[in-house]
Structure 1
Amino acid sequence: MSTIKVMNRWWVVLGAVLIQLCLGAIYAWSVFTPALKSAGWSKMQTQIVFAVGLACFAVVMVWAGKKLAAWGPRKLTMISGLILGAGYVLAGLLGGTNFPALLFCIGVIGGTGIGVGYVVPIAVGMRWFPDKKGMITGLAVAGFGFGAMGWVKLAGSWGHLIHSYGLSNTFIVYGVSFAALVILGGMWMTFPPEGWQPEGYAPPTPATDEKGQKREADYSGLEMLKTYQFKLIFLTFAFSAGAGLMSIGLMKLYPMEALQRAGYSTAEASAVAGTAMAVFFSLANGIGRIAWGAMSDLMGRKAAIILMTATQGFCVIAFPAMASNEFILYVGAAFIGFNFGGNFSLFPTITADTFGSKNVGRNYPFVFLSYGVGGIFGPILGGMLGDMGSFPLAFTTCGVLCLLGAVFTWHVNAPTAAEHERTGFLPLYRKLVAAKAPVRK
């Protein structure tokens, strides 16, 4: 037990939630798409901004992971809030409906701001809660899922910001709010003192595989990239994230079309689709992050990911048949949101379990690049097939890929010490030293 006096670690959770509430605003993008379509945008254009934001988010996160140790979590968070806020404020000042302007301001600048800050609460949370990695990661990223509900409703049926003040002013209000809340949450983003452990916590002894070999941990990024485990985890995350992100991008557009074909008026269809996204999907998304994280602490990361991706595959395939009925739509949106949220608590923790917790701040961004891949192919596939009138084919394709991801995860096992020797640089270093060492007579 450590006697070092430190702050209450639950302040870290509060700070993480405040930060993620704002970073998760990218999931509220669909609330802006009807107004942008009315301004002359195509469905494809609305999804391109969303996809570029997700891609920038994932790519920049790799850079941020490298800077985390050098700059510290608090400084990185402050920079994140300023960049994210500036992107939305500039989008409002430049007119609010200009495609190139929104592509750059919200897609590139906003996505960059999210990427700079996203890894901080995860890395900091795992350091403060080594005894509850799954649960705390779920709590740390829950705000990302819950945030969409608040920002969607504030712009729409609760705050009526778009109707009352227009897109430009809504973007400005959001930008200022994002900057203020992220900076506030960043005040608690700090690592615990070196050697600190929570009271009563005993670090687990290294596990062994079926042959009795010690499982190796604490891989560097380059070592991790060489393993087959990384490749399987990467593909599974890309498939699962792509399915969820496509569903997010279409959660307003596709159900509106399906409901109107079923006899709902335009206003009724818009209200039902908005509720499906802003309430059922968003709430389930946030709850899923916590629930899947907690369940993975009990059943194991691998089993949880297999169950989550398999369930998501069947839900996404069935969604086109569910979208034309209000109450069944709510059920489908909730299931997809719940499973989608699980990605963000399960993949950081399986990265830590498989490759070590010490370097998770640097290693997880490489895994998270798969989210950028999914963010490109999922929404763009949905938008392209939507313009062709083939929304169901997009859902079916993504659902089948989720099922394939469940199969991939079945084959993921933590690398052994022998595998680490084959992938690392230590063996080469030892050979070079031995070659240069003088021969003793």
Structure 2
Amino acid sequence: MADGALPNRWMFVVWAIIMQLCLGNLYTWSIFRSPLMKDYGWTIQQATVPFTLSIVFFAVGMVFAGRWQDKAGPRIVATTGGIILGVGFLLASQVGSNLWGLYVAYGILGGLGVGFAYVTPIATCVKWFPDMRGTITGLAVLGFGAGSMIGAPVGTRLIGQMGVLRTFAVFGVIFGILVALAGSMLRNPPAGYRPAGWTPPVPAAGKPAVTKYDYTPGEMVATPQFYLLWVIYIFWAGVGLMAISQAVPMGVELAKLEPAVAAGALGTMAIFNGLGRPAFGGISDKVGRVWATILAQAVYIVALILVLPNASTFATYTVGISLVGFSYGGCLALMPAFTADYFGTKNLGINYGWIFTAWGAAGILGPVIGAQVRAQTGAWTNAFWILAALAAIAAVLAFITKAPAPREVTAKV
């Protein structure tokens, strides 16, 4: 089906970026943590639980939202996600002085709101851009990595002016409205849609013309490719999330930086985290998902083995940590594209939701394992070798992972 009178598909990318810029402020928890500890006397362990819960319920929400979206379309799911997110922040402004209240408001409701809204623009954009899935997926998730770059300084200023609880309320109103509004603009293309001037890849010589088979979640989890992608994802994301969570203490130890200076390196890392998403997405459209994945793991290994252990200055540490962020950004662009390539787009929401649980697991295990190795061995360099080994394993798994055996229905020609 040609474009005809259909809307400009690039507008869906714009709405996706707006949504993700708001959703990415889940990562701004650190600006709230210290003031809350100071105001209410909480320990760092207690004040870290809301963020941990938000990561877990982000992944949980993805699974349920993906299934709902595949049945009802993206609008209602994205709008619901925006409302839940806004309510979570607003509730935090009312019960944020109570630790358990904050666990529910920010951790559970905030995480669920992000999970419901996050998957919708990705699945929508992938369906509108079958000709450039990697690039578009990267652009669609670019905002998530960049959102905290805007929200963190703005939120820090607001906290200084009006306090933590009122800042929660401001964030709730802004993010709730923007996500719900942008989400209400999403729509799927009609069945059989093809961009003008684009023709699906021609089958290899001697093979019949086929139409792509769309796997159900049950069929997907019965394939070895699902488990291979899941393991690749948890290793790829785990390395990056460990570095993100420990970037400041690593800078203090390795390069002898002051914490505020090391935080500047983390800010640069965030920029490259965002840039890595469209970059690796575009690379994968040119050389394939597998080789783009292997390239990302190579970047990890160079940073972890050659750059960071020798980072004695702010400049070298920033280069090393930014390389890690750049590679990490790639997983959030390539994994949705892998899922669409291997298992089709009809059930992409729920299928990617299940694969995304690897990211949720990585968000818990990656930082814990890295910190534990540092504590047991006494040096971050020892942790780097383990993380580099995980990246090497991910590269090998990517190399041996092939698309599922054809389950297509022969097209009538």
TM-score, normalised with respect to structure 1 = 0.84
Considering only CA atoms, is the larger Rg found in Structure 1 or Structure 2? Answer: 1
Taking the TM superposition and a 5 Å limit, the aligned residue runs for 1:341-420 are: 341-382=329-370, 390=378, 392=380, 393-417=382-406
Q: Equivalents in 2 of 1:350, 1:215: separation in Å? A: 18
- What's the CA shift for 1:110? 0.9
1:225 aligns with 2:257: no
2:25 aligned residue: 25
Distance change in 2, residues 1:247/1:89 (3 Å): farther
| Contact kept in structure 2, 1:12 and 1:189, CA below 8 Å | yes
Q: Equivalents in 1 of 2:43, 2:369: separation in Å? A: 14
- What's the CA shift for 1:194? 2.5
Q: Over the residues paired in the alignment, what is the CA RMSD in angstroms?
A: 2.9
Q: Equivalents in 2 of 1:375, 1:176: separation in Å? A: 27
1:203 aligns with 2:164: no
2:295 aligned residue: 307
1:439 aligned residue: none
Identity %: 39
How many residues get paired?
A: 407
Taking the TM superposition and a 5 Å limit, the aligned residue runs for 1:158-307 are: 160-206=157-203, 217-256=213-252, 262=256, 269-278=258-267, 280-307=268-295
Q: Equivalents in 2 of 1:59, 1:320: separation in Å? A: 34
Structure 2 residue identity aligned to 1:330: T
| Contact kept in structure 1, 2:80 and 2:113, CA below 8 Å | yes
Distance change in 2, residues 1:276/1:161 (3 Å): farther
Q: Equivalents in 1 of 2:118, 2:26: separation in Å? A: 12
TM-score, normalised with respect to structure 2 = 0.89
| Contact kept in structure 2, 1:243 and 1:316, CA below 8 Å | no
Structure 2 residue identity aligned to 1:299: V
- What's the CA shift for 1:411? 0.8
Unaligned runs of 5+ in 2: none
1:356-380 alpha-carbon deviations (Å, 9 max, x no partner): 2333222111111111110111133
| Contact kept in structure 2, 1:134 and 1:296, CA below 8 Å | yes
| Contact kept in structure 2, 1:47 and 1:249, CA below 8 Å | no
Unaligned runs of 5+ in 1: 427-441
Q: Equivalents in 2 of 1:47, 1:205: separation in Å? A: 51
| Contact kept in structure 2, 1:319 and 1:395, CA below 8 Å | no
1:175-228 alpha-carbon deviations (Å, 9 max, x no partner): 22211211221132111222332111112234699x999897422211111111
Q: 1:332 aligns with which of 320, 343, 353?
A: 320
Distance change in 2, residues 1:161/1:397 (3 Å): farther
Q: Equivalents in 2 of 1:387, 1:32: separation in Å? A: 26
Distance change in 2, residues 1:396/1:338 (3 Å): same
Distance change in 2, residues 1:3/1:414 (3 Å): closer
Structure 2 residue identity aligned to 1:367: I
Distance change in 2, residues 1:257/1:174 (3 Å): farther
| Contact kept in structure 2, 1:221 and 1:362, CA below 8 Å | yes
Distance change in 2, residues 1:361/1:27 (3 Å): same
Q: Equivalents in 2 of 1:100, 1:354: separation in Å? A: 42
1:87 aligns with 2:88: yes
- What's the CA shift for 1:310? 3.1
Structure 2 residue identity aligned to 1:89: L
1:15 aligned residue: 15
Q: Equivalents in 2 of 1:135, 1:81: separation in Å? A: 25
Q: Equivalents in 1 of 2:205, 2:57: separation in Å? A: 38
SS at the partner of 2:163? helix
1:144 aligned residue: 144
Q: Relative to structure 2, which stretch is displaced further, 14-23 or 390-399?
A: 390-399
SS at the partner of 2:169? helix
| Contact kept in structure 2, 1:129 and 1:136, CA below 8 Å | yes
| Contact kept in structure 2, 1:208 and 1:215, CA below 8 Å | no
- What's the CA shift for 1:67? 0.3
1:67 aligned residue: 68
- What's the CA shift for 1:253? 4.3
Q: Equivalents in 2 of 1:228, 1:275: separation in Å? A: 42
| Contact kept in structure 2, 1:88 and 1:105, CA below 8 Å | yes
Q: Equivalents in 1 of 2:103, 2:124: separation in Å? A: 31
Q: Equivalents in 2 of 1:232, 1:226: separation in Å? A: 12
Structure 2 residue identity aligned to 1:194: A
Distance change in 2, residues 1:207/1:155 (3 Å): farther
1:429 aligned residue: none
Distance change in 2, residues 1:19/1:161 (3 Å): same
